[in-house]
Structure 1
Amino acid sequence: MSSYTQAFAWLFSAANWSGPGGIPTRLLQHLGYSGLTLLIAVVIAIPIGLYIGHTGRGRSVVVPFTGALRALPTLGLVIILALWLGIGLTPPLIALVILAIPPLLAGAYAGIEAVDRETVDAARSIGFTGWGVLWQVEVPLALPLIVGGIRSACLQVVATWTVAAYLPLGGLGRFLYDGLPIRDYAEMLGGSILVIVLALVLDGVFALAQRGVTPRGVIAGRITDIRTTTQSPDRKERSWLAPEA
């Protein structure tokens, strides 16, 4: 029997779908850890990103700093924090929040900076305050990139919480660490498949959300003439914007 056959047999075994160590419990734990991490990172990173994008201040400091955060080895950071703070939820939570901040921050400030300045100037000219420009013009137009940053951070967090189960904690990573000492490769491969499926499902959800918050004009990307008419040569000079007689 191949490893994949054994893994799918393990996945569909009724014994693995019940109890405190069953797939549903581990899946909910993984979602809980990931959701809490993403929520904390969003609360920290999105306001800073909006401020940088709206004002342009602090970009030269924050952007290189967050770029440096991407280079941190997450597992090493988890171990260092665990040695300092002790084993528990706090060390991996801090490490994963640090991992999630750069894509969230980049999505926020890049989204605001991508808004056409002529649109912003037009909003100001008709009386919008700075706060009104931010929340009624810039943020709605920047939402696709902001959600894209959340999407990227979510995938990184979901994948890395698997490694963080080393401490030990719950979550889908337990299937990998529990199966390794006893060489239960079916459990390890089955746990890996669960993480992959979860990541793909969440990626699809955020892809739909990203498309849903994208303004129609941005989706179109350009103005296209959808009329299909057969015009006589003497009417070819007529503008396509002009209504038919």
Structure 2
Amino acid sequence: MSYTISPVVSDDVESVLKFLKRTFYLDEPILRAVDYCQTGNDDTHDLDEYCRHSLPGCSFQAKDEDGNLIGVLVCDRCPVVNPTDCLTALKDCKSPKYKTVIRMQIMREIIAEIWNQYPNDSELIEIKMAATDPKWRNKGVMNKLMGVIEKTARDLGVRLLRIETSSAFSAKSAESKGFKCIFSRPYTEFQFDGKPFIITEPPHLDDRIYIKELF
């Protein structure tokens, strides 16, 4: 089973969004916890716009011999500063369910203070979404995509790779690739008025941020 890796370009954005909707949107533990996307026909305007803001960025895709998408890594260069993107997204968000996700993310960023952990770095490459077609999982596709983005970061002179893992499986995968966990907190501890924003299903119980220092 052969496939090719290529950068995501502007003409690929809509096909990438459709792919993410039938893979990442349906499987991601936080999105599942708030019932954001149940089927491929659900309205996911807010998350689609978030992706469009990041794409094509420095994202990569894998395609099979027939040109079908089998894997996507959505990545972008981001500043290592107190983020304002989440606040803008919250203001513009139309979905109450997705607003819950954004509020939790804002709280995470405030607590983690990554900009204080890496005061000598001005930017990083953030791996925002990673998705593989179910028929192609456990065949090395994502490992290959991760290798490509790591090489790209080095070529650009960007020292840090960042990935957030809501899935216990993604966390294990990140650790196997040399990422270091710099923030971890149970979802039940992200609260408003004494109640958790989000309650996820086991084994996906912790929100984590991982960083890999490339040089």
**Structure 1 length as normaliser, TM-score?**
0.22
With a CA cutoff of 8 Å and minimum separation of 6, indicate the structure with the bigger relative contact order.
Answer: 1
Higher normalized strand content (fraction of residues): 2
Higher Cα radius of gyration? 1
